[in-house]
Structure formats: C-alpha cells, structure tokens
Amino acid sequence: MSRQFDHVTLGQRVRFGTGAAAGHLAAEVERLGARRVLLIGGRTAAEVAARIDVAARCTDVAPHVPVENAERARAVAAESGADLLVCVGGGSTTGLAKAVALTTGLPIVAVPTTYAGSEATNVWGLTEAARKTTGVDDRVLPVTVVYDAALTSSMPLDLSIASGCNALAHCVDSLWAPRADPINQALAVEGARALAAGLRSISKDPGDLDGREQTLYGAYLAAVAFASAGSGLHHKICHVLGGAYNLPHALTHTAVLPYVLAFNGSAAPEAAERIAGVLGGDLASLYDEIGASHVLRGVPDVREAARLVLPSVPPSNPRPVSEDDLAELLSAAQAGLNPTEWSRA
C-alpha cells in the first residue's frame, strides 16, 4: 500500500535528567546568551532558577490564561527589558509564557512540573469573557525544554494521575486529528505505552521516580504528536468547556477522554485497537487500575455546552458529530456511565 503525507516536526532542544533541572537551566541561559531573564512561576521556579540572574519575576498564573493576566505579564516583560522567558510550572505557567512570547517574540525555556505537554507545542490559548481562543504560532514554541522527574514529585497522587491522563488525551487525539499521519501516530502510540506504564507505577508508589520519568517521557512524546497532528474532537470539547465554565484542565480532559475514545472508536477501529494494545486493555479498565475518574463535573447545561462545542468540531473527525451526539456524550460523562457500555447502547 502506498503512503503519501506531509509531516512537520518542530525544532526544539530537550534536556532530560532527574535532579538536574537547575544545572540544565543555567547551561541553557548561558548558551542563549540571555542577560535579563523574566522568571514566570512560584516558589519552585525560584528554587530551580537559583543559579541564574533574574531581572524580573511574574507569579500571576491562572488556569486558561485570562487575557488580563497576559497583558500584565507582557507589561512586566517590557518594563524589565527581558530578553528570555523562563517558566517553571504546569500548563498554565507555560501558557502565560506563551502569551508573552506571542506578542514580544521573546524565546522561552520551559521547565515543566506536570505532564501537561504544552511545553512541546506551538499552540497558545487565551480566555476572555468566558470564551477560550486557541491558535498556532511558532513564536510560542519554547526553544528548550528542561525535564526533571523530581519536580513532578510534589504533585498529589490524584493530580499526578489526572495530569498523566491529560497527556494520554494528546496521544488518543493524535490518531485521528486533522493532520494525523504515520509519524505522529507512531509517536502517539509509544507515548501511550510509556504513559500507561508510568501511571501504573505512580498509582502504586507516588514516590517512584522511575515511574515519573516514564510518565514524563510519555508526556513529551504525546505533546510532540499532538503538535504535529493538531486538535481533534477531544481537545475541541475540553477547550470550550474549560473556557466557558472555568473547569480544571487536567480533570476535565481525564473525564471526557474515555467517552470520546468510545464515540470515535467504532469509526476508527484500527486506531482504537492500537491504543488498547499498548494500554493492555480498554481505557476504562486502566482508569479503574490507576484510580482515575471519568466523571465530568461543573457543566451546568450540557445542551448549551454542546451548542458551544459544535462549531469547533473538526470536519475530519472519523465520525460525524451532531449537537445531539455531543449532548449525549457530555451527559454520559456527567453520569459517569461505563464508557464502553455507553458506546454500545
């Protein structure tokens, strides 16, 4: 069978090493020749940045990056004469750095402390008046990512599991997103394998650094696949819900994912089988094993939510999607129905 596709791999340096974040960050700041660093993040950021000179700090981090926060951070960057952005934290922290880079063109060195994956993508998001807008721009892709599994150890177990499942959503969506191709699909499948193994280890022993390394590695592969493949149905749903109802990012992705996989699986059986193969069974069983929740909370009106989501559904989704389908999917997630049994009903 002949293959034809157009694949883009984003250029980025990755420095991976447990316990090495401070040293790797200092080396990158020196390599880039930065003299006026704007540090974005909280207490952990200050610890990781102990070996570099910081011109200014910004701790104004909030989920879904409100436009007001972005404007304040941009002002700090301008006032301090920043020539490099260093962000240390989860997806919201990386998102704030991206918002600054979007309008200033300043380079970013990202040091993730969760499995969000934003650090490996050129996707940005801003929220204004309860509506989240996302876009793609190479200016927001961090030039370097510094990964250190020890920095994820402070996450409580439930957040570690949810953050890992959020990464797993990048893998699943990448199998049928608008720009899916054999390369990003291969990355997604390997990412899902690593994430499943890592999350199983973390669920048994939250202090298992080998498990956290495996999960961090899987989260990176997942994000690279997602950056190449684009946003599929799952991410479109979760971005709209997050912006409209200010829902917690990782928990929302975790809750919705099994239902999107069940919904699309019948129309994309090969993709569903590849995911099941590396997970060692269906996603609902993995959730039971690692203690993840597929109950969606915080959506007051599923019919309204369905109307908001529908315009953003990718036309390339493996299965046609109606407003009724979306309302049904969200209702099932709210009720916490067994995703596999729901899809067969």
Per residue in 232-250, pLDDT (tens digit) is: 999 999 989 998 998 998 9
**101 confidence band (pLDDT: 50, 70, 90):** very high
Q: Is residue 56 over pLDDT 60?
A: yes
What digits encode the pLDDT tens for the residues 7-20? 888 899 999 999 99
**345 confidence band (pLDDT: 50, 70, 90):** low
What digits encode the pLDDT tens for the residues 16-39? 999 999 999 999 999 999 999 999
CB 90 within 8 A of CB 251: no
**304 confidence band (pLDDT: 50, 70, 90):** very high
Q: Are strands 54-58 and 37-40 parallel, antiparallel or unpaired?
A: parallel
Long-range contacts of 78-81 (CB under 8 A, 24+ apart): 78/104, 80/36, 80/38, 80/55, 80/56, 81/36, 81/55
Domain 13-152 and domain 157-344, same fold? Reply is: no
Quickly name the fold that domain 13-152 has. Rossmann fold (3.40.50)
Q: Secondary structure of the chain in the HEC alphabet? A: CCCCCCCCCCCCEEEECCCCHHHHHHHHHHHHCCCCEEEECCHHHHHHCCCCCEEEEECCCCCCCEHHHHHHHHHHHHHHCCCEEEEEECHHHHHHHHHHHHHHCCCEEEEECCCCCHHHCCEEEEEECCEEEEEECHHHCCCEEEECHHHHCCCCHHHHHHHHHHHHHHHHHHCCCCCCCHHHHHHHHHHHHHHHHHHHHHHHCCCCHHHHHHHHHHHHHHHHHHHHHCCCHHHHHHHHHHHHHCCCHHHHHHHHHHHHHHHHHCCCHHHHHHHHHHHCCCHHHHHHHHCCCCCCCCCCCHHHHHHHHHHHCCCCCCCCCCHHHHHHHHHHHHHCCCHHHHHHC
pLDDT of residue 344: 65
pTM summary value: 0.93
CB-based contacts of 296: which residues, under 8 Å, 6+ apart? 252, 255, 256, 330, 333, 334, 336
pLDDT of residue 4: 83
pLDDT of residue 308: 96
Q: Is residue 131 over pLDDT 90?
A: no
What residue segments make up the domains of the chain, in order of their start?
A: 13-152, 157-344
Architecture of domain 157-344: Up-down Bundle (1.20)
pLDDT of residue 1: 54
Q: Is residue 298 over pLDDT 80?
A: yes
**315 confidence band (pLDDT: 50, 70, 90):** very high
pLDDT of residue 130: 80
pLDDT of residue 291: 97
pLDDT of residue 243: 87
Q: What is the mean pLDDT of residues 179-188?
A: 95
Q: Is residue 73 over pLDDT 60?
A: yes
Phi, psi of 17 (to 5 degrees): 180, 125
